[in-house]
Copies of this chain bind each other. A is one copy, B any other.
Amino acid sequence: MEKIKVGLLGLGTVGTGVVRIIERHQDDLQRQIGCQIEVAKILVKNIEKDRTVEVSKDRITTDPDEIIYDDEIQIVIEVMGGIEEARDYILRSLDQGKHIVTANKNLMATHGREIIKKADEKKCDVFYEASVAGGIPIIRPLVESFSSDRIHKIMGIINGTTNFILTKMSEEGVLFEDVLKEAQALGYAEADPTADVGGLDAAYKIAILATLGFHADVDINDVSVEGITKISKQDVQYAKQLGYEIKLLGIAERDDERISLSVQPTMVKKSHMLASVQGAYNAVYVYGEAVGETMFYGPGAGEMPTATSVVADLVAVAKDMKLGVNGLRESRKLSEKNMKSENEIFSKYFVLVHVEDEVGVMAQIAQQFASCGISIDAVIQQPKNDKTFTEIMITTYLTSKANINQVIRNFNMMKAVRKVASVYRMED
């Protein structure tokens, strides 16, 4: 091979970084691959747009077919985002025998199976390290480094926007709405922040991690999702009082072959490594039967970190091409999914209830936990101050999600309970 030609779908933030790295590190890349890499053609929406990276006009096109049906292009890098168009272009590129590198979590968490099946048929590589946690190498370690182990749990801070917001709320005691505005002004949050703060972005990523870590045929629809919009200043303060930080975690658990997947704000004990992850950084914690506790930390987004992962995948494809082993590296057989019911999902919980200031209320609250079979770890009645009601914080021992849901339903029917103000999963 004298030169490997690459087609790039998309020239936004990540695409720009990819062009930059391939140009800047051409010597290093050549040393590893043994030949030159050239970004031959780039699909864009608007040819005239000003760009921060120099690309000659003849390399830019608005017609995807100029990449898909160019026989000289052997590898397609998809960094345009979105689902339907990206899926179409990738499937047609695979039909043409082109290898795929993508950073598209939404696509891989919804149509990953279809894309990988087609790639296997065509003996093509499909790599997507950048789709989860940007610059952190997590997919390759999950697949290769833990190949000899059985992974039981994956917990990730896999959305930088929400971790930036939660870090600010914890450090400065400010309101969710106010930090969101600041995050938007700084470019850490989108104008429409729904996918981030609603937890959907994290849900795509935990679905991908669980597929790889558990070899299970799960997708985005298997993830129960709760965002961070309801977290109050007080919740953050109470968490701190107890020695915890509130983090939005994607959690994937497996016992025997039973799996549960969720995204939710979680109180994480301060001594846990995940509690130290600040600002827009990401981290993925992996618990394996033999290896025990590990964690992978780094930038979860951004032009250059994400582009680093994309180009590392590109190098992997190029090496496979040299060895003639594309599409043969992994056994991608997935076992059928076998999801846990709420009776099987166990955790510790934090519950905050607002109750009337009456004799015997505490006993009633405690009785409800007992009747649902939940053991209480600690109870704190907060000073009433100027409120017209009393606040009771309860932390539990391990209990099922079904039990916690039951006790909350019971509270909501009690005359002495004004409302269940907050419920958090706790991780020590």
A interface, CB within 8 angstroms of B = 17, 21, 25, 28-29, 31-32, 34, 129, 135-137, 140-141, 144-150, 215, 271, 273, 276-278, 281, 288, 290-299, 302, 304-305, 307-309, 311-312, 314-316, 319, 323, 325, 328-329, 331, 333
Contact = CB atoms under 8 A, between A and B. Distances in A.
B297 A294 contact: yes
Given A129-B145, A137-B145, A294-B297, 18 more contacts: A25-B149, A31-B215, A34-B331, A136-B294, A140-B141, A145-B309, A145-B312, A147-B311, A147-B312, A148-B307, A273-B277, A276-B276, A291-B298, A291-B304, A291-B308, A293-B297, A293-B298, A294-B298
Contacts of A316: 144, 147
A284 to B, nearest CB: 10
Contact of A312 (B148, B298, B299, B323): B148
A297 to B, nearest CB: 4
A261 to B, nearest CB: 21
19 contacts: A21-B148, A25-B149, A31-B331, A32-B147, A129-B145, A135-B291, A135-B292, A137-B146, A144-B316, A145-B309, A145-B312, A147-B315, A148-B311, A273-B276, A292-B304, A294-B298, A296-B297, A323-B328, A323-B329
A339 B297 CA distance: 29
Nearest to A309: B145
- Of the listed residues A140, A145, A148, A319, the one surrounded by the most CB atoms of chain B closer than 10 A to its CB is A148
Contacts of A29: 147-148
A69 to B, nearest CB: 27
A144 B317 CA distance: 11
Contacts of A333: 31
A141 B150 contact: no
Contacts of A294: 135-137, 296-299
A148 B308 contact: yes
Contacts of A309: 145, 291
A83 B238 CA distance: 55
A243 to B, nearest CB: 14
A313 to B, nearest CB: 9
Given A146-B308, A312-B144, A331 B32 contact: yes
